[in-house]
């Protein structure tokens, strides 16, 4: 690298002396492990297709020198590596990049440096911003993912690295093994900063908690801040239940609108019914069929075809195909589309109506396209000592790899809670397709200086099964800006806009569209203490209850905006 640090790098190439295009993967998970043995991009198949594949341990991981600080070095290190690869006698001078999750982060960070030899990339299941949609969402800390990822993947790798270098790291190993085993219990620990096992092995975890707002710390490394500089086309692949779905879509839109070249402004987008690390479309109680499976769509073939077009300049018909391919749940079919959002989308408000509180005389509230009139508000008590438990969705929690708590889990598991408001349509008379971005607009107040509001879009079958489709959260202090938090005035009604990301689902005739509103989703997101203070440093004694109210009348028309697609 430019500062003299050496990064361990393996090269896989076909026999013969002809220089070939190269595909680079950069990983924090061991270049001899995760990069080679995965179904998303098979290195040996790419070599057989006529590419040199280069796999590298990023700075400070496994066999590479230096110190690991997630995201920060991946731009310059990626650019330096691309230049080195392009200059080798076995490379034709053009380079592509591949890989998902953190591999995807290394792609976007390198592309933002505008390396001359980089000509194409395939970032999948990755983010556009390492604050919103990676470390935080809607201002809430993504505790479930970040603690599990840091303990079980990053800190473990650091101990392995130290032991491999002959360092005495047995004490750290013992403490880490105990912490990994106690991961679920550690979610309950307060303050969030009280995680001594990570202070030495992963000090960046504390840095993430020290920067809850979108400030210069995050702005310096956000791919979305450099979309206008990126010159290469990107094939973006994501999942409806992937924790980076929002970033996958944001990268597609950002490049289409801001890319620095015509090729860059022609990205492609593929989204299946997948969760992060589990891309088979099979969940507890719900299977989307073999057609939804990663193995069925053959992602390595998608990669090779993309690189054939952009690294080998093959006329393989890719330019003439629709740029968007989506798996539509409910009917469980793949569809090709011309853009995102779909050009014929009818963004339709579905309004909340009285009775959402489980203990009201009228029972569940209703959801309809009819605007509200004079209606009473709904009230519930949010107690951070008893948060709503995470039940499915875009999670990455212990047990993920058997889809234990990810995807379309049945929301009846948490029905009956007094702190969850439920609004449903009558049974549908005909199929209703909802494909596109979804926003929840709440008119709400709180007794607290700060609190959270959550929303879930749910498909209710005639037999009562309530499948979660997508959800979101907003920490109310960030209602105006993720950079400049402002406390609430207790009792004042605010308009809050909650990003529920997106879905593609056909609500079949006889099904009902359901919306759940609450103030917690734990441990996926950390609990709001309701004090308005610095949540990460507050202990259990700081937790206070909040009386939260949701208004839905003529002056306060709370609603969820659904992207309706009329195929007729």
The catalytic site residues sit at 101, 242, 276
Q: What is the SS3 assignment for 47?
A: helix
348 forms bridges with which residues in the sheet?
A: 562
Q: What is the SS3 assignment for 200?
A: helix
Whether the CA torsion 239, 133, 113, 73 is positive or negative: it is negative
Q: What are phi and psi of 247, to 5 degrees?
A: -70, -35
Cα(257)–Cα(264) distance, rounded to whole angstroms?
9
Q: DSSP string spanning 156-199? A: HHHHHHHHHTT---HHHHHHHHHHHHTHHHHTT-SSTT--HHHH
The token duo for 99 is: 């890989």
Q: What are phi and psi of 478, to 5 degrees?
A: -100, 20
CA dihedral 127, 129, 134, 136 (to 10 degrees): -150
Alpha carbons within 13 A on the beta-carbon side of 65: 6
Cα(411)–Cα(461) distance, rounded to whole angstroms?
12
Can you tell me which residue has the tokens 């996958």?
A: 248
DSSP state of 514: E
The token duo for 114 is: 């505008």
Parallel, antiparallel or unpaired: strands 52-57 and 9-12: antiparallel
The token duo for 455 is: 């929303």
Whether the CA torsion 10, 14, 19, 21 is positive or negative: it is negative
Q: How many residues does the chain have?
A: 568
Q: What is the SS3 assignment for 437?
A: strand
Nearby residues of 434 by Cβ (< 8 Å), 6 or more positions away: 457, 469, 503, 504, 505, 506, 507, 513, 562, 563, 564, 565
Among 498, 481, 392, which Cα is nearest to 437's? 498
Q: What is the SS3 assignment for 266?
A: coil
- Interior CA angle at 141 toward 25 and 33, to 5°? 25
Parallel, antiparallel or unpaired: strands 365-368 and 421-424: parallel
CA dihedral 249, 136, 478, 109 (to 10 degrees): -60
CB atoms closer than 10 angstroms to residue 15: 6
């Amino acid at each position: 690298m430019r500062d003299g640090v050496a990064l361990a790098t393996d090269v896989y190439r076909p026999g013969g002396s002809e220089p070939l295009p190269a595909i680079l993967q950069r990983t924090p998970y061991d270049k001899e492990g995760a990069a080679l043995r995965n179904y998303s991009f098979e290195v040996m198949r790419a070599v057989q297709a006529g590419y040199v594949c280069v796999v590298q341990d990023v700075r400070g991981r496994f066999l590479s020198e230096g110190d690991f600080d997630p995201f920060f070095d991946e731009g310059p290190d990626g650019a330096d590596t691309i230049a080195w690869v392009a200059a080798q006698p076995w490379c034709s001078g053009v380079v592509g990049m591949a890989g998902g999750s953190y591999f995807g982060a290394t792609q976007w960070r390198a592309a933002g440096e505008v390396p001359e030899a980089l000509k194409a990339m395939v970032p999948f299941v990755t983010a556009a911003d390492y604050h919103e949609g990676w470390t935080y969402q809607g201002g809430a800390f993504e505790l479930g993912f970040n603690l599990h990822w840091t303990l079980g993947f990053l800190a473990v790798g650091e101990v392995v690295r130290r032991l491999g270098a002959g360092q005495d790291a047995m004490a750290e190993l013992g403490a880490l093994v105990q912490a990994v085993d106690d991961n679920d219990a550690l979610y309950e620990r307060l303050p969030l900063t009280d995680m001594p096992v990570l202070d030495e092995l992963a000090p960046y975890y504390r840095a993430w908690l020290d920067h809850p707002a979108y400030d210069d710390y995050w702005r310096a490394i956000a791919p979305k801040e450099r979309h206008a500089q990126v010159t290469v086309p990107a094939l973006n692949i994501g999942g409806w239940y992937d924790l980076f779905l929002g970033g996958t879509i944001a990268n597609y839109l950002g490049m289409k609108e801001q890319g620095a070249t015509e090729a860059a402004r022609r990205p492609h987008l593929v989204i299946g019914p997948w969760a992060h690390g589990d891309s088979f479309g099979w969940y507890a109680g719900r299977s989307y069929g073999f057609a939804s499976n990663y193995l069925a769509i053959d992602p390595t073939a998608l990669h090779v075809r993309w690189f054939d077009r952009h690294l080998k300049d093959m006329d393989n018909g890719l330019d003439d195909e629709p740029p968007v391919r989506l798996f539509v749940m409910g009917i469980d079919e793949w569809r090709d589309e011309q853009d995102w959002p779909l050009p014929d989308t009818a963004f339709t408000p579905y309004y909340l109506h009285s009775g959402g509180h489980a203990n009201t005389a009228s029972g569940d509230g209703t959801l309809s396209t009819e605007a509200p009139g004079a209606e009473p508000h709904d009230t519930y008590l949010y107690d951070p000592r008893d948060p709503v438990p995470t039940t499915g969705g875009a999670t990455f929690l212990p047990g993920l790899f058997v889809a234990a708590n990810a995807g379309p889990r049945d929301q009846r598991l948490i029905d009956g809670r007094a702190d969850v408001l439920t609004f449903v349509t009558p049974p549908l008379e005909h199929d209703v397709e909802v494909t596109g971005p979804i926003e929840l607009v709440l008119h709400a107040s709180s007794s607290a200086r700060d609190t959270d509001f959550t929303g879930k879009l749910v498909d209710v079958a005639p037999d009562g099964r309530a499948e979660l489709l997508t959800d979101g959260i907003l920490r109310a202090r960030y209602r105006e800006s993720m950079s400049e938090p402002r406390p609430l005035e207790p009792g004042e009604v605010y308009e809050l806009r909650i990003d529920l990301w997106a879905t593609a689902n056909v609500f079949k005739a006889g099904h009902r569209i359901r919306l759940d509103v609450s103030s917690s989703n734990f441990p996926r997101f950390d609990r709001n203490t309701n004090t308005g203070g610095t949540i990460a440093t507050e202990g259990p004694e700081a937790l206070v209850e909040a009386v939260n109210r949701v208004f839905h009348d003529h002056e306060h028309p709370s609603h969820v905006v659904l992207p309706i697609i009329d195929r007729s």
